[in-house]
Amino acid sequence: MCEANAYLLKEGKEELILEAVDIVEPHEEGKIRLANIFGEQKVLDAKLKSMSLVNHKIVLE
């Protein structure tokens, strides 16, 4: 279970947007695509701020 939770930083607060993320990759038009182990995916107009695999945490902004 090495997936991570993805958060979007909004006005200084981290909002959980997708749990158990497996895939992180750039998408068209500067967006970012996240997909999790349950087959859910989200495409966000955001960029990577930080990621710690040890802490299972991805932060986008």
Applying CB under 8 A, the span of 7-15, 18-26, 38-46 interacting with its own copies comes to 18-26
Applying CB under 8 A, the span of 10-18, 24-32, 38-46 interacting with its own copies comes to 24-32
Long-range CB contacts (within 8 A, 24+) of 52-55: 53/2, 53/4, 55/4
Tell me, by CB under 8 A, how many residues bind its own copies. Answer: 20
23 near its own copies (CB under 8 A) = yes
Q: Are the beta carbons of 49 and 58 closer than 8 angstroms? A: no
Helix (H, G, I), strand (E, B) or coil at 29: helix
**Can you give the binding site for its own copies, defined by CB under 8 A?**
1-4, 21-26, 37, 47-54, 56
